[in-house]
Structure 1
């Protein structure tokens, strides 16, 4: 009876995606199996998958090992040993199975090596060690090439980042740039990245990975804060600087100004520092803003358990809860309270806008000071390079200059964050009530808190009564 073997094929890169490389390997392996009078019963194919990178899982390779150990196949045919393993640990896992099942078959098209024998295993270990070294050398050369490209401000290839055109990654995609700008304004206005992520997922924005049901939070955050937006070239996530101490500018069109980008980055980092790991999700407009008119405890919205689509009851209520330390004596239907507060706040904002002018787009007053310190650092580095000062002198003078520069950069980011936040939060004077409720809930709350410090909800007495606006007391700043 013919021995049943599995054919393993792999190629590290398939840029065209046509799988021609693995197809050629399979044909040669099938011919070899026929010459040995073996029956090829299954093909294990890892196309466009590295065998060198430690963090890469080769699904078909793992399945092959599992089938081999379980006795579902009687051996392996591969085009070359380095198709099977480029890490010694992967080879040892394979050898362990051959130790357990001595009658297993093994053959490669290019080499006469049989890991079922002691001599074959020794030779295989030597060959995989050399293949591993070759991969290390290639990896080192590739990294050096990428660093050189980065230092020249050039791209390293790959799919175009979201915000730039797929056919020319140096040109801005107007629609994607518009979505990025809108999302950044929302962040500055207090909207959570999670809310933006959900909307983008529904609208198909952000280049989500094919087949994924949900975009990752960090993916959206990276899109909205990456240094590429302002034209800065990065390497392994860090901004690259030239010999003059200035960031290296890439060969692509920027989407943000420096002021916009620093403001968004500062807003994101500030929120992380205030409540790291905490959820900012809200369901109801006045949750945490409304207070009981009797005991002054904060009131939160909650679902009305008696609500049905056929009933006339409200979907949610603002309820003073004994569980949260309240008196439990005040409850009010939610929708009319929200609508009343929205109307009052929008009217107040329009009144304030008619008499108040907020200065926006001011230049940071210490820009010249930062520029001078940056030049001083560059001059010190150049002086050491040309042997005008010693390394010891450079290292003595440099730290204080660098600290001053970093403090000024932080101050600049804070300045533009506050400026852009004021601009984003101030674009609400002409909103209608319907447009207000069309905004994300975090944005709605920011608008309310811009005018109000609290909303007192007073008791209305027993029984079903008509909504009385006089029992809702806004507390203005």
Structure 2
């Protein structure tokens, strides 16, 4: 008197959808189920449609009758079953007494997994619920019916496994030959997944290099948004999406199957393999520090140091940061509200120092080109061994085998060596961020054309900036409050080396 219908399709294409968003085959199934219910004298009061859903790439895919997930059974137990939400909902409605019979088109439209069938059999026997199908392939009225259903489901299950195995083998062959598996095209490539799109490939190469040079994902993504560059989906760049793109092995001309690299691709690499490995190491490094908050929007954000909190020998590094709440953006100490300095005037002063230094004839001495002769594999192995040793030291401390002083001393040495290795690995795969500026006919024009994340790398490479308290009264920018200590080969003999408008000190 209150029967339940169940219809489903295992394969649905967008062209099969009607105006209501339902598959035409599903509509046909439902009508046949209702007509057969009338012939049986059943009153089908509800039909549950196991409709297909849109995936993340916008294509319509069927609900699998074969893949497994952990589901909750009618008796409250959680077991591994095929992921069939509509089927599970049907069992729950029957078990609750909301419906007193189940009608479907065919056996394989209801179950294809033996465990699912047993759940249905248990339910039918416990609550005396009739189960019928239009084609007659599913009927659980007698022991013979149940035995036949078990045999047919076992055969259907074997067919599903055989099909899955053939599909997996075909996809592996497809991957080995470099053929694209379909879906939304990968960033940097055309629709065929093999032809490189130069404009996007340039962004992948640039972003990979800048990341290894020391820029953050957020700052790179901010630069891309400012340039109106968008993802494949047409969305503005975010750090998470950029990370996913830069970690794709296809960028280095490598084929991936089931998450593992299986060989070289038939297309040319967008980035050298060692540069890609460096990107992988940075983005997947255990314990990698990720700065919270938004990407820096100003040259000195979290880069300039507070001259009160930071000693002259730079032994304490409390960074200044920018608060934009004021009418005019200003640098303020990261810990306290002292040392307020105009962003505009401070950055102009620092940029003047940068450009003056890079305009000198000996500017080329500041740049060391990438060194491909560095044993990258050995350095990576050493870095991994240091991480493992540090973890063992922490365990030893917890067990009382070493004291706190021993742990701190060993940790300090280990991290110092890790920093050295990081520097050597970086030098092995990318040039200095200063390279585009060295020898340029118009250094200022090149500087102005660089994105903010690159400009920040240049400042970090060349100097340390401390903002000092002013010794004079009144308004106006005081250049003596910006202390610049030069890095690389040009260091002052004292504790500071202040740039002045008349030139760079020797």
TM-score, structure 1 normalization: 0.68
Q: Secondary structure at the match of 2:7?
A: strand
**Residues 38-77 of structure 1: pairs in structure 2 closer than 5 A:** 38-39=43-44, 41-47=46-52, 48-55=62-69, 57-69=83-95, 73-77=99-103
- String of CA shifts for 1:316-340, please: whole Å, max 9, x gaps: 4322636xxxxx7544344432343
**Counterparts of 2:163 and 2:435 in 1: how far apart (Å)?**
54
Indicate conservation of the 8 Å contact 1:192/1:280, yes or no: no
Superposed, 1:293-332 pairs within 5 Å as 293-296=307-310, 297=316, 298-301=318-321, 303=323, 307=326, 313-319=327-333, 321=335, 330-332=339-341
Per-residue deviation, residues 245-281 of structure 1 (Å, max 9, x unmatched): xx4443xx33425xx2321331341454374263376
Question: In structure 2, what is the equivalent of residue 78 of structure 1?
Answer: 104
Match of 2:457 in 1: 446
**What residue in structure 2 maps to residue 134 of structure 1?**
159
Distance 1:4 1:422 in 2: 72
Question: Is 1:261 the equivalent of 2:281?
Answer: no
Residue number in structure 2 paired with 1:400: none
Aligned pair partner of 1:476 in 475, 483, 486: 486
Report matched runs for 1:262-281 at 5 Å: 262-270=274-282, 272-273=284-285, 275-276=287-288, 278-279=290-291
CA distance in 1, matches of 2:133, 2:25: 16
For residues 468 and 374 of structure 2, the distance between their equivalents in structure 1, rounded to whole angstroms, comes to 48
- The answer for the alignment partner of 2:357 in structure 1 is 348
User: Quick one: structure 1 residues 450 and 238, their matched pair in 2 at CA, closer, same or farther if it must change by over 3 Å?
Assistant: same
8 Å contact from structure 1 (residues 262, 416) kept in 2: no
* 8 Å Cα contact 2:369/2:427 also seen in 1: no
Count of matched residue positions in the alignment of Structure 1 and Structure 2: 402
- Conserved? CA contact 2:180–2:194, under 8 Å: no
Q: CA deviation at 1:365?
A: 8.8
Q: CA deviation at 1:450?
A: 0.8
Corresponding residue of 1:229: 251
Contact kept? 1:331, 1:459, Cα under 8 Å: no
Q: SS at the partner of 1:5?
A: strand
CA distance in 1, matches of 2:140, 2:223: 54
Q: Deviations over 1:123-162 (max 9, x none)?
A: 44443333222222222222233334444x2426322433
Instruction: Determine if contact 1:456/1:472 at 8 Å carries over to the other structure.
Output: yes
Q: Relative contact order: is structure 1 or structure 2 higher (C-alpha 8 Å, sep ≥ 6)?
A: 1
RMSD of aligned alpha carbons: 4.3
Local SS of the residue matching 1:132: helix
Structure 2: how far apart are the matches of 1:472 and 1:415? 31
Q: Secondary structure at the match of 1:223?
A: helix
Task: State the Cα distance separating 1:25 from its structure 2 match.
Answer: 3.4
* 3-state SS in 1 of match to 2:188: coil
Q: Name the CA shift for 1:470/1:200 in 2 (closer, same or farther; >3 Å).
A: closer
Indicate conservation of the 8 Å contact 1:263/1:414, yes or no: no
Structure 2: how far apart are the matches of 1:438 and 1:63?
A: 58
Deviations 1:393-414 (A, max 9, x none): xxxxxxxxxxxxxxxxxxxx99
Map of 2:499 onto structure 1: none
Shift of 1:226: 2.8
Structure 2 gap ranges (5+): 18-22, 53-61, 70-81, 311-315, 377-421, 488-506
The Cα of 1:304 is off from its aligned counterpart by 6.0
Aligned-pair distance for 1:49? Answer: 2.2
User: Which is worse superposed, 221-230 or 348-357?
Assistant: 348-357
**CA 1:162 to 1:290, structure 2 compared with 1: closer, same or farther past 3 Å?**
closer
Mapping for residues 135-150 of structure 1, pairs under 5 Å: 135-150=160-175
Q: Does 1:337 align with 2:346?
A: yes
Contact 1:304 1:315 in 2 (8 A): yes
Gaps of 5+ in 1: 241-246, 308-312, 323-327, 368-412
